[in-house]
A and B are shown apart, each in its own frame.
Chain A
């Protein structure tokens, strides 16, 4: 089989201890939670780290807590428990659906929310063995100088492939980070960048400790994913939506489309829907057609890019209708 490279393993029990290790080890270190993304990538020679800092024994990072106006989810909460948690299913169904759509049962049992948020971007020219990439001549994201998706491209367009990311952005979540330099909070919508090489604003010495979701009356959410098989597959396209309703109709709306490029895309057309708009099929069609214009999948993951593009309005329409927008 493909062997893992040699590495040292650290198992801190507190966040402070883990943060200290990241500082001390510097560039050599890499955080690991469930390992479902990191370990295959290490086997493919994509990760240079010579030391892993495991968060598995940091008890403080586990569990879901309902507070007065928010839902706080420890970063080490597994995707399986997220998908099954009755409180999440009720208060943030879009996140539960996204967690349930990740990989297969084994991935969800090992994989964590924090790990999924920090999932490395994926590309057909990147997620391959060292031999394959050497035969290709490597790529911009790793060991090479050219992009094979966009001929002559100078920017990496590897795709954000984490199912929970669009859900958290749509749900207006806040991500808590901690390092030896202190703690900070970042809105999920600002957490990702358009750089496929490293698509988050997380500093390398920072640890995602928790995700906080506001509890808003009248809120509903959902998630949908395009894939060729009913399990295992990373998304060819994903859509998350959140709708806030009040007596006047739609109070606020957010639709996020992902698995296109490095950064999940918030649909401008959805954010611009004025408060008080009434649900209608016309609204659904406007949103789905705008989505098709705003989103342009590239040939960056294994799946027909044209078909993925055509499916953008369809997924947006289906999810919008499911959430009662028309």
Chain B
């Protein structure tokens, strides 16, 4: 579209699925009910680590409502999202590795019968020694959870850039800090659900609330030993994922196998408790940082040691371990850097990617360190960040940076929050804190090595004037479907309502790698624009022929194609489509995206964390701290986010608000704790508390546009970046308010009181109700 004012891109508007969602018409996976469908439940291990010695289904099969029982022996092939670490069986084969690990599946005529039957499956276990914390995982090597069974190590990464020791020795200020992040869960409102149907002709169809239908397709084929040509994966609308649905899970394999065994459709819906066992939430991390700086505020070196509690399986752990160090080198950093990260296995629900995968925990630690450095050298913490902004087009660990709106992000939150006038002047008990971060717009490489596109779109053009986008990407609530429709509508001059989007169906849509690592806007957007432009060219040529002008003189406006000098002969888009179809035959196009070759550093692991573009974020948080109750309230958060270009600003605002919500929840409330018996401390939404609408701070979302040269219309990610620095911004604001440094999340009232007491012994008497 040539006239900027007519473009939908950059304009506020409703998401395409809004009305259906608000009216309750959206059909999620659990809403699908097939004729003769069975319901299955997984039987889970009650021990943190145990060998399965016997499974006796006699009592279960005596129930006429029970149709089939399967165990690990029915699915004896390993899977894993990372091709190098496949260490999970759909149902534990010999040993179960945490309380809640799936060991069998039972299909019955109804959900209640299946549930009741789980209690009648007689399983004999031999209880094994277990490790339930980082310290135990390090010490109790005999538990043998590692691949070699000689220790509990999952992955170790040591990388060094520059001369850290020399730089620290030459620094004016060297500070050390230790931090701990217990980990959190995604808590999507829709729990995992899968339905499998095995047709008489041998076609297996699986509907799943996944965010990676393509990887699911591949793993189903491998584990079930069924050709991918005989499998169709469909992802219905997803009710929240946040990274918790970005790999295959036991339920998809179990439903598929049970469907194959029984010849009937099978549904499995996880309970809220099972959602906590499937987990893949944020890893607990114990982090030790040494940061050096000169008196004038130049960071000299960063030395990081991180221990990561991975839980029972690898999941994305290889990537997490790299990310814990690799993603720290923007936006303000030192020229010398060394990190050593070790991920351990423990007998706990497996950890994985949660919004801001691998880097939210180190970001918390590092941004708190920066606040301390600033204080030590009496420099404004925003000024310190500004001074150390990575200005070059490459980071210390070799990542290419193509666009950078960081300084504008800092300036915008500084101004909006009244930082200069208000910080340090709000009186005791109220404070402001700042922090900043950067994040990837997609990973540069697919999870399994290949040279094919990472995102792709096919367009079908109908004579009626409707264009359908067959889109491999996964709509998980973030709004990719709306974005695709917007991009196509702009290219072809169509109304939004004339563009339909069919997404994430392996029979209908080209392959996209999935909704993870904030890749959708950048990769899928580019793919979509490429396809739409191909159609646009044909429309332009057909209209040019009709109007007898050169194609370059034809432009697209809303609803019409016109030619320069012949504005009164505008051709409606629908007519242009008919002309083009008459001239070229049936209209269709494909578009795809492949990231530039050879991004990343030239060292082992140097590609992990490399992205075609990086987003930038700055947060200022304003908090109050009640020194008698220890209660921290986040009053307001200003978040400036450089998303390159806000294609759908309302959706970007939504991502910022959602990210801040999630970050504040992790700062104040959420803590995913497994107790010393290996039991989840409360696998439900009463005990695992996420904020209600009454607990959310006022959020100011500030959009910064740096126009990335390779992004679709200049756009970059917005889904994960705006979470990172919200947590340390709160920590730093607490320091501004009451002078305590909190090094462990969440900042619960008990911890705040303890820290206040350590700081000021007289606080104790106040809390006791004295004067």
A135 to B46 Cα, complex, angstroms: 4
Chain A residues contacting B753 (CB-CB under 8 Å) are: 307, 310
B601 interfacial contact with A, CB 8 Å: no
A71 to B694 Cα, complex, angstroms: 33
Chain B nearest CB: distance from A161 CB in Å?
11
B669 interfacial contact with A, CB 8 Å: yes
Chain B residues contacting A233 (CB-CB under 8 Å) are: 686, 689
- Mask, B49-66, CB within 8 Å of A = 1, is 000000000000000000
Q: Are B629 and A311 in contact, with the CB atoms below 8 A?
A: yes
Q: Are A6 and B112 in contact, with the CB atoms below 8 A?
A: yes
- For chain B, residues 250 to 270, give those with C-beta under 8 angstroms from any C-beta of chain A: 269
Q: Are B683 and A132 in contact, with the CB atoms below 8 A?
A: yes
Chain A residues contacting B693 (CB-CB under 8 Å) are: 231
Q: Are A230 and B692 in contact, with the CB atoms below 8 A?
A: yes
Chain B nearest CB: distance from A310 CB in Å?
6
A310 touches which of B273, B686, B767 (Cβ 8 Å): B767
| A136 and B677 in contact, given A130-B119, A231-B692 (Cβ under 8 angstroms) | yes
**Which residue of chain B has its CB nearest to the CB of A44?**
B684
Q: How many residues of B contact A (CB 8 A)?
A: 44
A195 interfacial contact with B, CB 8 Å: no
Chain B nearest CB: distance from A288 CB in Å?
4
B463 interfacial contact with A, CB 8 Å: no
A306 to B119 Cα, complex, angstroms: 37
Q: Are A229 and B691 in contact, with the CB atoms below 8 A?
A: yes
Chain B nearest CB: distance from A52 CB in Å?
16
A230 to B692 Cα, complex, angstroms: 7
A54 interfacial contact with B, CB 8 Å: no
Chain B residues contacting A4 (CB-CB under 8 Å) are: 112
Chain B residues contacting A304 (CB-CB under 8 Å) are: 748-750
B769 touches which of A1, A130, A228, A288 (Cβ 8 Å): A288
- Mask, A1-31, CB within 8 Å of B = 1, is 1111110000000000000000000000000
Q: Are B769 and A289 in contact, with the CB atoms below 8 A?
A: yes
Chain A nearest CB: distance from B231 CB in Å?
27
A223 interfacial contact with B, CB 8 Å: no
**Which residue of chain B has its CB nearest to the CB of A6?**
B112
Residue of B115, B271, B689, B768 ringed by the most chain A CB atoms within 10 A: B115
- Mask, A97-138, CB within 8 Å of B = 1, is 000000010000000000000000000100111111011100
- Mask, A292-312, CB within 8 Å of B = 1, is 100000000010101100110
Q: Are B271 and A132 in contact, with the CB atoms below 8 A?
A: no
Chain A nearest CB: distance from B644 CB in Å?
36
- For chain A, residues 223 to 248, give those with C-beta under 8 angstroms from any C-beta of chain B: 228-234
A1 touches which of B269, B683, B694 (Cβ 8 Å): B269
B538 interfacial contact with A, CB 8 Å: no
A136 touches which of B271, B679, B686, B771 (Cβ 8 Å): B679
Q: Are B273 and A231 in contact, with the CB atoms below 8 A?
A: no
Q: Are A3 and B115 in contact, with the CB atoms below 8 A?
A: yes
A317 interfacial contact with B, CB 8 Å: yes
Chain A nearest CB: distance from B204 CB in Å?
25
A313 interfacial contact with B, CB 8 Å: yes
A202 interfacial contact with B, CB 8 Å: no
B605 interfacial contact with A, CB 8 Å: no
| A230 and B694 in contact, given A1-B269, A129-B271 (Cβ under 8 angstroms) | yes
**Which residue of chain B has its CB nearest to the CB of A310?**
B767
B687 interfacial contact with A, CB 8 Å: yes
Q: Are B769 and A292 in contact, with the CB atoms below 8 A?
A: yes
**Which residue of chain A has its CB nearest to the CB of B628?**
A314
- Mask, B599-618, CB within 8 Å of A = 1, is 00000000000000000000
Q: Are A229 and B679 in contact, with the CB atoms below 8 A?
A: no
Chain A residues contacting B566 (CB-CB under 8 Å) are: none
Chain A residues contacting B691 (CB-CB under 8 Å) are: 229
Chain B residues contacting A313 (CB-CB under 8 Å) are: 768-769
B682 interfacial contact with A, CB 8 Å: yes
Q: Are B112 and A104 in contact, with the CB atoms below 8 A?
A: no
- Mask, A280-296, CB within 8 Å of B = 1, is 00000100110010000
A136 to B676 Cα, complex, angstroms: 11
Chain A nearest CB: distance from B697 CB in Å?
12
Chain A residues contacting B677 (CB-CB under 8 Å) are: 135-136
B271 touches which of A2, A124, A285 (Cβ 8 Å): A2
A131 to B191 Cα, complex, angstroms: 18
A132 to B274 Cα, complex, angstroms: 11
Chain B residues contacting A124 (CB-CB under 8 Å) are: 681-682, 687
Chain A nearest CB: distance from B761 CB in Å?
15
Chain A residues contacting B630 (CB-CB under 8 Å) are: 307
Q: Are A310 and B694 in contact, with the CB atoms below 8 A?
A: no
Chain B residues contacting A131 (CB-CB under 8 Å) are: 44, 46, 118, 273
**Which residue of chain B has its CB nearest to the CB of A104?**
B692
B680 interfacial contact with A, CB 8 Å: yes
Chain A nearest CB: distance from B317 CB in Å?
25
Q: Are B695 and A229 in contact, with the CB atoms below 8 A?
A: yes
- For chain B, residues 27 to 50, give those with C-beta under 8 angstroms from any C-beta of chain A: 44, 46-47
**Which residue of chain A has its CB nearest to the CB of B746?**
A228
B686 touches which of A2, A127, A285 (Cβ 8 Å): A127
B111 interfacial contact with A, CB 8 Å: yes
B308 interfacial contact with A, CB 8 Å: no
A104 to B680 Cα, complex, angstroms: 25
A228 to B694 Cα, complex, angstroms: 11
Chain B nearest CB: distance from A201 CB in Å?
28
- For chain B, residues 722 to 771, give those with C-beta under 8 angstroms from any C-beta of chain A: 748-750, 753, 767-771
B99 interfacial contact with A, CB 8 Å: yes
- For chain B, residues 403 to 426, give those with C-beta under 8 angstroms from any C-beta of chain A: none
Chain A nearest CB: distance from B114 CB in Å?
9
Chain A residues contacting B119 (CB-CB under 8 Å) are: 130, 134
Q: Are B686 and A234 in contact, with the CB atoms below 8 A?
A: yes
Chain A residues contacting B767 (CB-CB under 8 Å) are: 310, 314
A132 touches which of B191, B273, B771 (Cβ 8 Å): B273
Chain B nearest CB: distance from A4 CB in Å?
7
In the A-B complex, list the 5 residue pairs whose CB atoms are closest, starting with the nearest: A313-B769, A135-B46, A230-B694, A3-B112, A307-B750
15 chain-A/chain-B pairs, Cβ below 8 angstroms: A1-B271, A2-B115, A3-B115, A124-B687, A131-B44, A136-B679, A230-B695, A231-B693, A231-B695, A234-B686, A304-B749, A306-B750, A307-B749, A313-B769, A314-B769
Beyond the given A124-B681, A229-B689, A231-B694, could you list 5 further A-B residue pairs with CB under 8 A, ordered by the A residue number? A3-B111, A5-B116, A132-B679, A132-B683, A310-B753
Which residues on A are within 8 Å of B, measured CB to CB?
Answer: 1-6, 104, 124, 127-132, 134-136, 228-234, 285, 288-289, 292, 302, 304, 306-307, 310-311, 313-314, 317
